[in-house]
Amino acid sequence: MSNPAAQYEMHEYLSRDKLFEDHLPLVKIIAHHISVRLPPDKCVEDLIQVGMIGLLEAARTYEPNQGAEFKSYASIRIRGAILDELRRETWVPRSVQQKSRRLSQAIQDVENRLGRTATDKEIAAELEISMEEYGELLETVASCTVFSLDDDNTFSEPSTGEDETLLGLHDESVKKTLAEAIGKLPEQEKMVVVLYYDYGMNLREIGEVLNVSESRVCQIHSQATSRLRTKMRNSKVAEEDL
């Protein structure tokens, strides 16, 4: 007589193995998307290998009765595995991180003072630099914006705590606040964010849509994410004060 428990375990194993195989293309998509924001010497194949580990872990731990589709759950684990690896490598120099924080602070100061969205010129003036220097600054800090906008840790100091990352990803209030913040972005910044994160387009493709250079898209993306980081941080502080 067959063992029901053994049959169930075999079915469970085969189902999870199929989940892994069916979603291998997802690893490549996410890895290539992230690689766009990395230094040229960073091999995308390395990201794919790390992402496959994330997919394997997703297939092993996925619980269908939790309500989330596997693709969504796997995307979180794949992206999280890749970003955790990048954090471990600490490829973003401390000086660049400091410039990124300085930019976010300047945006916050201007917008708090004026009560509206700050323009490029106003932010540059706050930083006491020329528009040319401001453009160079945006391109420099672009390396800090690789982290997913769905990751709450994007809007604070990078953390290696996977549990905190997953909690942030599943926090509906965070998603709602982020959606509202994106909706308030200047039109061009909003378009870049939507095309990059929702449609998975790279900088060159976005540049073709907007009829601007890839370098300019990089600047717009950097400014948008810095602005979002500021809005999310302010929202978090406001919640803590309640």
Q: Identify the H or E element spanning 210.
A: helix 203-210
Q: For residue 227, what pLDDT is reported? A: 86
Average pLDDT per consecutive 10 residues, the chain (242 residues; last block may be shorter) = 45 69 89 76 83 89 75 86 77 78 91 90 94 91 58 38 40 67 88 80 88 90 85 63 50
Does 118 share its domain with 202? Answer: yes
Does 158 share its domain with 185? Answer: yes
Q: For residue 161, what pLDDT is reported? A: 39
Taking alpha carbons only, the member of 126, 151, 146, 155 closest to residue 234 is 155
Instruction: Please state the separation of Cα 193 from the chain's center in Å.
Output: 11
Q: For residue 179, what pLDDT is reported? A: 78
Is-contact 99 137, C-beta < 8 A?
yes
CATH number of the domain encompassing residue 123: 1.20.140
How many domains in the chain? 2
Does 84 share its domain with 135? Answer: no
Q: For residue 167, what pLDDT is reported? A: 39
Is-contact 71 23, C-beta < 8 A?
yes
Domain boundary among 89, 117, 151: 89
Q: For residue 150, what pLDDT is reported? A: 44
Q: For residue 109, what pLDDT is reported? A: 93
The domain of 53 spans 4-89
Q: What's the rounded Cα separation, in Å, for the pair 165 and 77?
A: 10
Does 119 share its domain with 235? Answer: yes
CATH number of the domain encompassing residue 85: 1.10.1740.10
Q: What's the pTM?
A: 0.56
